[in-house]
Amino acid sequence: MGWQRQFARHEDELDDPRSLALPDWQTLTKLAAALVDASTDKYQCWGDAVIFEACTATRIGEVSGCRVADIDTDQWVWTLRRQTTPGPGGMKDKGTKGKRAHRIPIIEELRPLVLRRIAAANARPDARLFVGPRGGRIATGVLRRATHWDDVVATLGYEHLRRHDLRHT
């Protein structure tokens, strides 16, 4: 991408972070469904992770670090304690970017998805809520390749959308 376009995009994001966000729930669910359809074996967890990331305003590494025990389904709050990042020898869990836990409310529309993911993890407290098709940790590059992200967002008319921009949705 040319530096002029990159600079203009950065200026837009500074002025209004939501300028790069998806406009509504219907658009988000359409994107998630298209990503699942584009993936090998139509793996539903890719779409679930994208929706969860957007609805909690978090990064994909934080979503990947989420475990069943981090979700309080009585209060509907996620206690964000860790993130997954690439490191020597593969993906590693470490503390949050701000080095402290955050309590993130889970909106009503997201709750059925969370319950479905907890059931998929057999409700084991230490199980990851979101995993790749072979049970591994999810990274942004893996999500991009597995779902053909660039092609899908371009087809839907959101070629400006990066995975990180879901935080602003």
CATH number of domain containing 20 = 1.10.443.10
Which residues face 90 on adjacent strands? 87
Helix (H) / strand (E) element for 86: namely strand 82-87
Sign of CA dihedral 23, 25, 26, 28: positive
Domain extent, residue 38, equals 3-168
pLDDT tens digit string along 14-72?
Answer: 556 666 678 889 999 999 999 999 998 999 999 999 999 999 999 899 999 999 999 99
Domain count, the chain: 1
- Helices and strands (H and E) in the chain: how many: 7, 5
Q: How far apart are CA 110 and CA 52, in angstroms?
A: 7
pLDDT tens digit string along 125-163?
Answer: 999 999 999 998 988 888 999 999 999 999 999 887 777
Cα atoms found within 13 Å of the Cα of residue 17, Cβ hemisphere only: 7
pTM beyond 0.75: the answer is: yes
